[in-house]
């Protein structure tokens, strides 16, 4: 849709200027490209005139010496043309690739700083497309679009001028065909633009279908969806094929018509030249005929391709429009705090915190609690109560609407963001692992964390044996998203990741998925070890963890409904007591 809209608009010079500003660091390459393009046009025009002279002067007058020197000159011209063609192709592509590399790096480093709310409303697939395939289209502006068009237009202007100077009658004859070719070219360009937009959206459909089905392969196979999905894929392919065939059809028509018009032109030149000669024109006329046949093909050939090149340029501009829209988005979490968070003690205060992700639904409705330095609080409550949200607010993934969140009496917004996040380690509910070794997944590329430290930390929290059991131990390479590890194993690695970063505040959002008793014990031990002497907030589902916490907060629909120690809460006989009874009975059931 977007492409369609932009395609109808006039050429966006402002946007073009922005793209062009990225060529600034590559002035040298840019210059070589432009000069080569100009020289190619110059050389191309030389050959036809030389052929004319060859026929009129060397052959007609049987001048062997001139013939020889003309042939040498023509070889040199050809050599020059080939050389500059090579130089041009290389530098234009180099320029395009250099520009998109810069834009791409800038785009991705911009993207990864956006606030969470940005990602809540954006599709990851679309952002990836912007960073990869849209970039390629921008590169093509340089390698296939813009310079080529400039070079071709120049070439045509030079050719037309040379024609007029050589023989204006023959020139006018050729020009008479031009409007028809121009009209056909314009038709072709318009039709192709529409067809290309369709092809591109069908490619996107193919991509996203295949990618989604492969990512969800377990569901596909579990629910016997293989043949249904294959059939659906066949239909998308059919649409893609139809869209593609349309472009092939336009191509076939256009090139046939262009070929026909060129041949008609040649016919006209020969006919008119012949008539002139019959009418007693000098032998020099023959040379002109040959020159004009060659020149007219030089005039028409670029015209045929210019339509394609305009499309490439147009597509590049559409892609650039989308990419620059992201580059110009300002959607970062404000980072204006001056407080360095280095020696945080870890006293946390939530005061009447109100928050909603979007304006529609209030998620936290005035949450207050206090965490002493070095103590451990557990947050319990039903699904969707707002537990994970509290963590998202503490490390400023989102900023709150009302109230305040303070660490050591200082508002979280007054800390420098980097320092704040370094001091708070979070084990998220769904553990994410990168496709890298276990060791790198733990250190996250922090060079200050040595292998010895990692191993020592693993031994301390009791997961060293587990990691050693993996093939390759700490060098075991995790595949995409850690799918080859169990969820308990992933969680242990995430624990270690949080532990080696040696934070002042530790936050654990326990995964609800159940793990076996052995892993549970391991996680339990690890939790105890890493929360020791640290302020910690644990969102807990396991009773053992909850019981050991210094305080327990019961959250319900964005409100704190109970707060106290395990024993206090049991005595209150409220929501916590109910929860405890339910879980306790369940465990007794399991034990029996």
Ligand X SMILES: Nc1ncnc2c1ncn2[C@@H]1O[C@H](COP(=O)(O)OP(=O)(O)OP(=O)(O)O)[C@@H](O)[C@H]1O
Residues that bind Mg ion (CB under 5 A): 388, 429
Nearest to 94 by CA among 143, 52, 151: 143
Judged by CB under 6 A, which of 385, 393, 420, 549 binds ligand X? 385
SS3 string of 436-502?
Answer: CEHHHHHHCCCCCCCHHHHHHHHHHCCCHHHHHHCCCHHHCECCHHHCCCCHHHHHHHHHHHHHHCC
**Least CB distance from residue 393 to ligand X, whole Å?**
10
386 belongs to the binding site for ligand X (CB under 6 A): yes
The interface with ligand X within residues 351-380 (CB under 6 A) comprises: 357-358, 363
Q: Tell me how far apart the alpha carbons of residues 111 and 322 are, in angstroms, rounded to a whole number.
A: 13
Compare residues 293 and 554 and give the one whose CB is closer to Mg ion.
Answer: 554
Contact flag: residue 426 with ligand X (CB under 6 A): no
Query: What residue is closest to Mg ion based on CB?
Result: 388
Name the minimum Å distance from CB 514 to ligand X. Answer: 14
Counting residues that bind ligand X (by CB under 6 A) gives 13
Question: 546: which residues sit within 8 A by CB, 6+ positions away?
Answer: 378, 380, 538, 540, 552, 566
Nearest Cα neighbor of 570 from 380, 303, 374, 340 is 380
Number of H helices, E strands in the chain: 22, 10
Among 429, 477, 484, 572, binds ligand X (CB under 6 A): 429
Interaction partner, residue 363 (ligand X, Mg ion, none; CB < 5-8 Å by kind): ligand X
- The residues facing 353 across adjacent strands are 367
- Taking the complex as a whole, the smallest distance from the CB of residue 588 to ligand X amounts, in Å, to 24
Cβ neighbours for 33, distance < 8 A, ≥ 6 positions apart: 88, 91, 92, 95, 147
100 vs 363, which CB is nearer to ligand X?
A: 363
Which residues in the 387-416 window bind ligand X by CB under 6 A? Answer: 387-389
Whole-number Cα distances in Å, 466 to 194, 485, 517, 528, 532: 58, 12, 14, 18, 22
Q: Which is nearer to ligand X, 340 or 556 (CB)?
A: 556
Helix (H) or strand (E) holding 369: strand 364-371
Taking CB within 5 to 8 Å according to partner kind, which of Mg ion, ligand X, none is near residue 318?
none
- Given ligand X, Mg ion, none, residue 21, with its beta carbon under 5 to 8 Å by kind, binds none
Please choose which of ligand X, Mg ion, none residue 36 contacts, taking the beta carbon within 5 to 8 angstroms, the exact cut-off set by kind. none
d(Cα 476, Cα 474) in Å, to the nearest integer? Answer: 6
Q: Does 491 bind ligand X (CB under 6 A)?
A: no
The CA-based dihedral angle spanning residues 392, 396, 401, 406, taken in that order and rounded to the nearest 10 degrees = 100
| CB closer to ligand X, 424 vs 439 | 424
Cα gap 304→261, rounded to integer Å: 11
Given the structure tokens 């294959």, which residue do they identify?
230
**Smallest gap from residue 86 Cβ to Mg ion (A):** 60
Report 167-196 residues binding ligand X (CB under 6 A): none
Instruction: Choose the contact partner of 120 out of ligand X, Mg ion, none; CB within 5 to 8 A by kind.
Output: ligand X
Find out whether 412 and 571 touch, Cβ atoms under 8 Å: no
Report, in Å, the least distance between residue 544 CB and ligand X: 18
Binding mask 119-138 vs ligand X (x if CB under 6 A, - otherwise)?
Answer: -x------------------
Q: CB under 6 A: which stretch of 385-393, 487-495, 500-508, 563-571 binds ligand X?
A: 385-393
At closest approach, how far in Å is the CB of 555 from Mg ion?
11
Shortest Cβ distance from residue 427 to Mg ion (Å)?
Answer: 12
CB of 352 to ligand X, least distance (A): 18
What residues form DSSP beta bridges with 365?
Answer: 354
Residue 384 binds ligand X, judged by CB under 6 A: yes
CA distances from 241 to 214, 249, 480 (A): 22, 12, 32
579 binds ligand X (CB under 6 A): no
CB of 98 or CB of 388, closer to Mg ion: 388
Distance of CA 336 to the CA centre of its chain: 29
Report d(CA 104, CA 79) in Å as an integer: 37
Q: Which does 532 bind (CB under 5 to 8 A by kind): ligand X, Mg ion, none?
A: none
Strands 505-509 and 535-539: parallel
Is residue 553 near ligand X by the rule CB under 6 A?
no
Considering beta carbons, is residue 20 or 357 the nearer one to Mg ion? 357
Strands 410-411 and 424-427, by their bridges, are: unpaired
- Which positions touch ligand X (CB under 6 A)? 120, 357-358, 363, 381, 383-389, 429
């Amino acid at each position: 849709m977007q492409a369609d809209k932009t395609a109808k608009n006039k050429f966006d010079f402002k946007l073009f200027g922005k793209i062009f500003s990225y060529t600034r660091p590559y002035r040298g390459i840019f210059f070589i490209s432009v000069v080569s393009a100009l020289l190619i046009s110059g050389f191309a025009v030389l050959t036809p005139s030389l052929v004319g002279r060859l026929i009129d002067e060397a052959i007609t007058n049987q001048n062997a010496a001139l013939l020889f020197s003309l042939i040498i000159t023509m070889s040199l011209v050809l050599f020059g043309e080939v050389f500059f063609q090579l130089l041009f192709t290389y530098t234009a592509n180099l320029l395009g690739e250099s520009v998109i590399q810069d834009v791409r790096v800038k785009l991705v480093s911009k993207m990864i700083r956006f606030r969470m709310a940005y990602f809540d409303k954006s599709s990851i697939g679309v952002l990836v497309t912007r960073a990869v395939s849209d970039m390629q289209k921008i590169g093509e502006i340089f390698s296939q679009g813009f310079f080529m068009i400039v070079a071709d237009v120049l070439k045509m202007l030079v050719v037309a001028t040379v024609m007029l100077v050589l023989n204006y009658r023959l020139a006018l004859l050729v020009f008479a065909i031009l409007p028809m070719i121009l009209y056909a070219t314009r038709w072709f360009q318009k039709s192709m633009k529409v067809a290309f937009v369709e092809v591109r959206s069908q490619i996107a459909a193919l991509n996203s279908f295949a990618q989604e089905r492969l990512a969800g392969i377990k569901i596909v196979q579990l629910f016997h969806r293989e043949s249904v999905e294959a059939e659906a894929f066949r239909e998308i392919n059919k649409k893609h094929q139809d869209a593609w065939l349309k472009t092939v059809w336009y191509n076939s028509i256009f090139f046939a018509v262009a070929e026909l018009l060129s041949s008609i032109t040649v016919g006209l030149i020969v006919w008119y030249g012949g008539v002139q000669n019959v009418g007693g024109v000098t032998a020099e006329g023959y040379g002109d005929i040959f020159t004009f046949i060659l020149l007219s093909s030089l005039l028409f050939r670029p015209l045929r391709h210019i339509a394609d090149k305009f499309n490439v340029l147009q597509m590049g501009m559409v892609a650039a429009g989308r990419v620059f829209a992201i580059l110009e988005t300002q959607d970062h979490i404000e980072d204006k705090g001056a407080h360095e968070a280095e020696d945080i003690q870890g006293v946390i205060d939530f005061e009447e915190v109100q928050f909603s992700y979007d304006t529609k639904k209030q998620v936290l409705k005035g949450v207050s609690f206090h965490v002493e330095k070095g103590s451990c609080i557990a947050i319990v409550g039903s699904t969707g109560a707002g537990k994970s949200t509290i963590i998202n607010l503490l490390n400023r993934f989102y900023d709150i609407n009302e109230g305040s969140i303070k660490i050591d009496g200082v508002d979280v917004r007054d800390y420098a963001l980097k320092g704040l996040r370094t001091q708070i380690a979070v084990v998220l509910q769904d553990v994410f692992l990168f496709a890298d070794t276990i060791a790198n997944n733990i250190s996250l590329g922090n060079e200050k964390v040595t292998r010895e430290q990692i191993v020592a930390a693993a031994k301390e929290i009791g997961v060293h044996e587990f990691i050693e059991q993996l093939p390759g131990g700490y060098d075991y390479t995790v595949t995409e998203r850690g799918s080859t590890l169990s969820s308990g194993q992933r969680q242990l690695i995430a624990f270690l990741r949080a532990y080696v970063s040696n934070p002042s505040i530790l936050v654990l959002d326990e995964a609800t998925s159940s793990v076996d008793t052995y892993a549970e014990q391991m996680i339990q031990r690890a939790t105890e070890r890493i929360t020791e002497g640290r302020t910690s907030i644990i969102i807990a589902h396991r009773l053992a963890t909850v019981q050991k916490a210094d305080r327990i907060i019961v959250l319900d629909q964005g409100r704190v409904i109970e707060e106290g120690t395990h024993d206090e809460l049991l005595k209150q006989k409220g929501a916590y007591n109910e929860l405890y009874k339910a879980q306790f009975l369940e465990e007794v059931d399991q034990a029996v």
